[in-house]
Amino acid sequence: MSNILIIKHGSLGDIAQASGAIQDISENHKNDRIYLLTTKPYFELFKKNPFIHEVILDKRLPKYNLVYLYFLMRELKKHKFSRVFDLQNSSRTNFYKNILFPKASYESWSSSHTTLPKDKNKDEFDKYSVLERFDHQLKTSGLNTSNTLKPNFSWASSDISEIKNQYGLKKYILLFPFCSPHLTIKKWPFYNDLIKLVLNKFGEEYKIVTAPGPDEIKDAKEINGLALLDNGRSLDISQLTSLIKDSSFVVANDTGPAHIAAHVDAKGLTLFGKHTTAYKVSIERENFKAIQVSDLNNLSADKVFERLTNSLS
């Protein structure tokens, strides 16, 4: 039995996307022990993943913190990993490679860099979708991939029956009108207009719900929907996953919850401006689609509502 390391630091949407690749790595190494290196926000979450045996915490302190770096490298080296699958593919994880396996090929350190197609440079390769890049990386590393292109994030869910009973949730439309303060280009401004259209057509058939993160609770008060909290706190990732999975429909900006929705087979829409494309982030699935426009300020609530009602009918 060998020890295998997977590296995936984040973010939330990236964690959902990587679920299929993690499953494929595990299924190709059934007789080995699978470790995963991640950051604090996802440390406890990954302990629930059935394809991982142990989770190692990377605090991601500055690289010039030599004491921390020494102890992290010592922790990794003691496991004598026979293979490393870098699913983060960042400058930081490439830095780790240069310390742990400076001369490694794709056979021992699998990353987008070590498996780069011979006829493509990195900029050309990065134009592929996220899941296509994972698939190429793993196949080039000699793995069979049956899940990488269709990740399933349902493993992350937990029982939220008590919360649903508390809020009287049966049929509900879930909205994610939030985004990071530095990424306002992702924010669609007409959620309250959409809510009016939904209520006019469906009345009380569906509850309109939001699930704000810790920094979004104040912003949620500006949305004319029910803000779900667990004893005054934001839902954790597992609770959020279950809420999304059980919803009737999701409308979201291009954020982590949208990627969760895509990969738990939820019905819904994500709204894209010019910041990127739905193709590049691999978000469209059978039940989860995208509306792509050049400027989200010009995307009307009527257009979103039309897509919502067509899906619910």
Domain residues of the chain, as ranges? 3-152, 165-312
Tokens (6 digits) for 144: 């069979």
Distances (CA, A) of 19 to 31, 51, 152, 169, 205: 20, 9, 6, 28, 34
Tokens (6 digits) for 278: 């739905």
157: closest CA among 229, 235, 241? 241
Give the percent of the chain with pLDDT over 70.
100
User: What is the rounded average pLDDT of the residues 43-68?
Assistant: 97
Confidence of residue 103 (pLDDT cuts 50, 70, 90): confident
Confidence of residue 174 (pLDDT cuts 50, 70, 90): very high
User: What is the rounded average pLDDT of the residues 42-54?
Assistant: 98
Maximum distance among all Cα pairs of the chain, rounded to whole angstroms? 64
Q: What span, in angstroms and rounded, lies between the C-alpha atoms of 177 and 210?
A: 8
Residue tagged 């991640």 (tokens): 38
Structure confidence by residue, pLDDT tens digits, 222-235:
999 999 999 999 99
Amino acid 185: pLDDT: 84
Specify burial of residue 275 (Cβ count, 10 A radius: 0-12, 13-18, 19+). Answer: exposed
Reading phi first (left if > 0) and then psi (alpha if -120 to 50, else beta), residue 282 is in left
The domain defined by 165-312 folds into Rossmann fold (3.40.50)
Confidence of residue 171 (pLDDT cuts 50, 70, 90): very high
Q: Is the pLDDT confidence value at 109 over 80? A: yes
Same fold, 3-152 and 165-312: yes
Tokens (6 digits) for 52: 């991982």
pLDDT, greater one: 276 or 291: 291
Amino acid 24: pLDDT: 98
Q: Is the pLDDT confidence value at 50 over 80? A: yes
Lowest pLDDT segment from 4-18, 34-48, 175-189, 265-279: 175-189
Amino acid 302: pLDDT: 98
For the chain, what is the mean pLDDT?
95
Q: Is the pLDDT confidence value at 76 over 80? A: yes
Q: What span, in angstroms and rounded, lies between the C-alpha atoms of 196 and 11?
A: 33
Distances (CA, A) of 65 to 70, 71, 85, 203: 9, 10, 24, 57
Say if residues 244 and 257 touch (Cβ distance below 8 Å).
Answer: yes
Amino acid 16: pLDDT: 97
The domain defined by 3-152 folds into Rossmann fold (3.40.50)
Confidence of residue 313 (pLDDT cuts 50, 70, 90): confident
User: What is the rounded average pLDDT of the residues 91-103?
Assistant: 93
Q: What span, in angstroms and rounded, lies between the C-alpha atoms of 9 and 95?
A: 14
Q: Is the pLDDT confidence value at 127 over 80? A: yes
Structure confidence by residue, pLDDT tens digits, 175-210:
999 987 777 789 999 999 999 999 999 999 999 999
Say if residues 246 and 290 touch (Cβ distance below 8 Å).
Answer: no
303 in helix, strand or coil? helix
